[in-house]
Structures are given as C-alpha cells and as structure tokens.
Amino acid sequence: MGGLILRRIAAFGSLLLLLVSLSDAHAGQIAVGEAQVAFAPPPGYCELGREGRDALFVDGVKRAMGPEVRILSAFAACEQLKPWRKGLLTYLRDYGFLTVARDDERRTITDGRPTIVRALAKAMRAANAETSGDGSGIDHLGVLHEDDRGVYYGLVMDVETPEGNPRGALEVSGMTLIRGKLLSCVLYGEFAGRACVEAMLGRQRADLDRLISAN
C-alpha cells in the first residue's frame, strides 16, 4: 500500500503545477466499478463542463494523474468559473476532484471503514517519512487528521502564476471508503499560513461527512 500512496502523493503534487485552469452543483450518481456513488460538489463549487477551457483543464489533469487514477468529478469555485471562462482570470485558485485508483475501482473492499482508514493513515505516515527532504520542492504536511470516517493529507508547493508571479499552492486530500470503494476528494487553494490549512481541513471533513451521509 505504501508504494500506491507514494504514487498518489506524487500525482496530486504535480497537479499544483497546472495553473492553466476549469451549472450549479447538484447531486448525481457516479458509477464506480459495480457501485453507484451519490456525489455533489462541495458548497460554493460548480462542476466543470466538457467543452472549452473546462475540458482542456480536465484533460491536462488526467495526464498529470496518469492512467492509474480515474477522475470521477471535477469542480471549481463557482464565483471564479464565469470570469475564468471569459478569459478574465488566467488561473483558478480554488478547485478540486473526486478520484479513485483504477485498481480500487475494480475491487470491492469488505473491511470496515475504520479499519481501512487506520491502515491508510499508517501507510501515509510511512510514505511521508520516505519523501521528507526528497528535493521535490513539495512541502509534505503529512497526515493532518484521521478518525473512523476518513484520513486527510496535506501538501504545499511554491509555484508561479501564468504571469510569473510566485504563489503558494495548498492541497488537502481526504480519503474514505464508500460502498466498498476507496475514494479521494482533493481540494486545491492558495496557501497563506497554517490558518488556511486548518480552514481547508475543516471544509474537507465536512465534505466527507456529506459524502458518507449521502451513501
């Protein structure tokens, strides 16, 4: 499991470099292998479309994640989407994805959610120890929180806007078991110190609670 966690962390970290960036949110059913998962973007986020800049962005993300990961849903902050689609913004600050590893999609996990989450947290901590000081330019914040419902991991990277201005990019991913499938919900935003990490973590915990309740 440690190797898979490392590949996921590397894939998600590389997304922070994609600063080419993405209908109000409403719940829908997503086929994940043989399971049907009910999902709606988090409050304040809208689903990305399948045309124009939205499609180009999602295609770029798919290439960055690689063939081992399937994007189930892509979304961005509603207030940013309209000006971004008109070309008034050169990148999106706040966006996210619901994903599944294709190996996990093909199997059904029968262990209980608490057991899987604790195993994931252990593997993530081991993976974080391996990546500390690896020279990748990514600050691995490690496991931010774990409980019986999910485990949460953070990354920070120094990147540049399309105009060449430096900015800090934050990723907080939350992983949980839904209908026997191990799913990851990943949020990206601006990094501006520990307070913004705690704020995004709080949002992710609420989002995973909604996802679990809907299923």
Q: For 92-133, write each residue's pLDDT tens digit.
A: 999 999 999 999 999 999 999 999 999 999 998 888 776 655
For residue 15, name the pLDDT band (cuts at 50, 70, 90).
very low
d(CA 142, CA 132): 10
CA 146 vs. chain centroid, Å, equals 16
Confidence at residue 171, expressed as pLDDT on a 0 to 100 scale: 95
Unique residue bearing structure tokens 């440690």: 2
Q: Report the 10 Å Cβ neighbour count for 135.
A: 6
Q: Return the H-helix or E-strand segment holding 55.
A: helix 52-65
Unique residue bearing structure tokens 């704020």: 199
